[in-house]
Amino acid sequence: MSHVLKYWREAATLFIVAKTRKPAVTAFQTTNFEILMLKRSGKSSFMPKLHVFPGGVAHDSDFNPEWMELYEKTGSKNVSCVKKFLERGGPGTFMFSRTRPEEFSKIPSELAFRICAIRETFEESGILLVRDINCVRNQPISSNDFPVSGKTSILSDSILKDWREKVDEDASQFIVMCKELDLVPDIWSLYEWSNWLTPLIPYIQTKELKSGKRYDTAFYLCVLDYIPHAVHCDKETSELEWTSTSGFLLKHKDPNHSLELAPPQLVELSRILNFTDAEKLKHFAWKRSEKRALLYYPITCFCADAVLMLYPGDDLYPKEPDFEGGNPPLIFNMTADELRKKYPKMNRSEIFLDGTRTFTCVTDMEDGQIRPLHNLLVDNGASSKL
Residue 339 pLDDT: 97
Asked if 105 and 226 sit in the same domain, the reply is yes
Of 288, 319, 350, the one marking the end of a domain is 288
pLDDT in 10s for each residue of the chain, 386 residues:
555 677 899 999 999 999 999 999 998 899 999 999 998 865 665 666 799 999 999 999 999 999 999 999 999 989 999 999 999 999 999 999 999 999 999 999 999 999 999 999 999 999 999 999 999 999 988 888 899 999 999 899 999 999 999 999 999 999 999 999 999 999 999 999 999 999 887 654 444 444 447 999 999 999 999 999 988 877 777 689 999 999 999 998 888 888 888 889 999 999 999 999 999 999 999 999 999 999 999 999 999 999 999 999 999 999 999 998 888 889 999 999 999 999 999 999 999 988 888 889 999 999 999 999 865 544 433 334 44
CB atoms near residue 266 (< 10 Å): 22
Determine the structural domain holding residue 356 and report its residue range. Answer: 298-361
Which residues face 40 on adjacent strands? 237
At a CB cut-off of 8 Å and minimum separation 6, what does 117 contact? Answer: 12, 13, 14, 54, 55, 190, 218, 220
Residue 125 pLDDT: 95
Residue 100 lies in a domain: yes
Residue 83 pLDDT: 92
Asked if 224 and 334 sit in the same domain, the reply is no
Asked if 207 and 344 sit in the same domain, the reply is no
Asked if 346 and 284 sit in the same domain, the reply is no
Residue 168 lies in a domain: yes
Residue 13 pLDDT: 98
Residue 139 lies in a domain: yes
Asked if 303 and 283 sit in the same domain, the reply is no
Provide the number of structural domains found in the chain. 2
Residue 379 pLDDT: 45
Of 288, 313, 339, the one marking the end of a domain is 288
Residue 21 lies in a domain: yes
Supply the pTM of this predicted model.
0.93
Residue 370 lies in a domain: no
Report the C-alpha gap between 281 and 287 in whole angstroms. 10
Residue 374 lies in a domain: no
Both ends of the chain: CA-CA distance in Å?
Answer: 37
Asked if 155 and 201 sit in the same domain, the reply is yes
Asked if 221 and 180 sit in the same domain, the reply is yes
Is-contact 231 255, C-beta < 8 A? Answer: no
Q: Is 201 buried (19+), middle (13-18) or exposed (0-12) by CB count in 10 A?
A: middle
Tell me the CATH number at 263. Answer: 3.90.79.10
Of 288, 313, 330, the one marking the end of a domain is 288
Asked if 117 and 141 sit in the same domain, the reply is yes
φ and ψ at 38, to 5 degrees? -120, 145
Asked if 311 and 203 sit in the same domain, the reply is no
Asked if 283 and 302 sit in the same domain, the reply is no
Asked if 202 and 309 sit in the same domain, the reply is no
Q: Is 139 buried (19+), middle (13-18) or exposed (0-12) by CB count in 10 A?
A: exposed
Q: Which of 342, 82, 75, 313 is nearest to 186 (CA)?
A: 82
Residue 383 lies in a domain: no
Asked if 31 and 172 sit in the same domain, the reply is yes
Residue 369 lies in a domain: no
Report the C-alpha gap between 65 and 214 in whole angstroms. 27
At a CB cut-off of 8 Å and minimum separation 6, what does 276 contact? Answer: 29, 30, 31, 32
